[in-house]
Chain A
Amino acid sequence: MATILEADRVLDCKGMLCPMPIVKISKEVKAAQIGQVIKMIATDKGAPADMQAWSRQTGNELLDSHEENGTFIFFIRRTK
């Protein structure tokens, strides 16, 4: 189920494999303000599991994670 969420920033990680998507999201989160939401798009099949682990480890909130036509969409909120 796709959730309608507003994003402040968009990060395109299509075509990248591990560990690039989480390296890129960690940089993007540092560049964002606390409370801002980032929409991340990836094609790496390992991204759904890795993004959950990354969010648990960093404490940033994974608001939504779903698949759309073969790509994975994530909404992340910077919490600290």
Chain B
Amino acid sequence: MSKSDPNAPRRLALIASRGTLDYAYPPFILATAAGAMGWEVGVFFTFYGLPLLLKDIGAAVSPLGNPAMPMKMPFGPEGFQNISWPIPTAMMSVPGFNALATTLMKQTFKNKGVASIPELRAMAIELDVKLIACQMTMDVFGFKKEDFVPESSIGGAATFLEYAADADVQLFV
């Protein structure tokens, strides 16, 4: 037996397990795109992905440990903006550098016409994407249901697996 209901719309099941800005994009982009195509979508937010459900998303990005990440400037002439600045590793650990890198990346994304993570999440909610918070992670890191956007539901591995079993596409991002 594959799908319980052959007439059901296509379904996408995602696991969002990382909470940095760069890792926050793939699940929200895929979830909104699938929702826009009329698919049913469920995202399981677990481990470091769980803070993406917080009312105030604090997702930042770190060039440290991200060796392929290009450092771009979001201002100036196009040629200048396209330069990938080589940043010495020692500088990446300087206090405040992550905040600077996050600000520059957010501005670069905005300039290019990419929606912000809060905007994408709001669209996902509008498209009825099911946002499932991992109960175990909540207990481990001390989050309460009230900390999350009210559209979130709570579940465990079995809850997600049952949902994913009926999905056409399942991805871990």
Contacts and interface: CB of A to CB of B under 8 A. Distances in A.
Interface string B109-122: 00011110000100
Residue from the set B35, B36, B39 with the largest chain A CB neighbour count within 10 Å = B36
A54 B84 CA distance: 34
Nearest to B28: A19
A22 B35 CA distance: 10
A22 B29 contact: no
A22 B114 contact: no
B127 interface: yes
Contacts of A44: 113
Contacts, number: 43
Contacts of A22: 33, 36-37
Contact of A57 (B32, B38, B127): B38
Contacts of A34: none
Contacts of A15: 113
A16 B36 contact: no
A79 interface: no
B167 interface: no
Nearest to B114: A17
B37 to A, nearest CB: 4
A26 B37 CA distance: 7
Contacts of B112: 17
Interface in A19-77: 19-20, 22-23, 25-26, 43-44, 50, 53-54, 57-58
B68 to A, nearest CB: 21
Residue from the set A19, A20, A50, A57 with the largest chain B CB neighbour count within 10 Å = A19
B133 interface: no
A19 B32 contact: yes
B130 interface: no
6 contacts: A17-B112, A19-B36, A19-B120, A23-B35, A54-B37, A57-B37
Interface of B: 10, 29, 32-33, 35-39, 112-115, 120, 123, 127
| Top 10 A-B pairs, shortest CB-CB distance | A26-B36, A57-B37, A19-B33, A17-B113, A23-B36, A22-B36, A15-B113, A16-B113, A17-B114, A58-B38
